[in-house]
A = this chain, B = another copy of it.
Amino acid sequence: MNIEKENDCAAELCDVVQVHDDVVNALCEKMPNVETLDNIADLFKNFADLTRVKILYLLHEAELCVCDIAALLDMSQSAISHQLRVLKTARLVKNRRDGKTVFYSLSDDHIMTILTQGLEHVTE
């Protein structure tokens, strides 16, 4: 019974076996596969940093360029650019160039749905 091994469910539990076998079997089958769980963890990594949360909230309100975000958050242009690259790699934000300026915006609405769930949880 070990979800690590392609859900083949063969790991041994405590000698005392707190959980009945049928329950544990059901457990393995209901679990998403490890790759999916890893993708979920990676997704949430993007929301696990204050700077990135601020950026996402700002972009929810308006399309912004790098230097505007840097000014609004009182941080260096480089720091913001690095973080925007993280968010872009995760496909949470997209950008478009207009002359010298690069405008960033949220990729889709689902991102804000997740953040709102978090907001609701922390505000009870």
Residues of chain A whose beta carbon lies under 8 Å from any beta carbon of chain B: 1-5, 11-14, 16, 18-19, 23-24, 26-28, 30-32, 34, 36-41, 43-45, 47-50, 52-54, 57-58, 61-62, 64-65, 67-68, 71-74, 100-101, 103, 110-111, 113-115, 117-123
Contact = CB atoms under 8 A, between A and B. Distances in A.
Contacts of A43: 118, 121-122
Contacts of A118: 40, 43-44, 114
- Secondary structure at the A interface, as helix, strand, loop or mixed, is helix
How many copies of this chain? 2
A30 B119 CA distance: 13
A32 B56 CA distance: 12
Contacts of A50: 34, 37-38, 41
Contacts of A64: 18-19
Contacts of A37: 50, 53-54, 57
A26 B62 CA distance: 10
B57 A1 contact: no
A17 B122 CA distance: 34
Given A40-B122, A122-B40, A123-B36, A103 B18 contact: yes
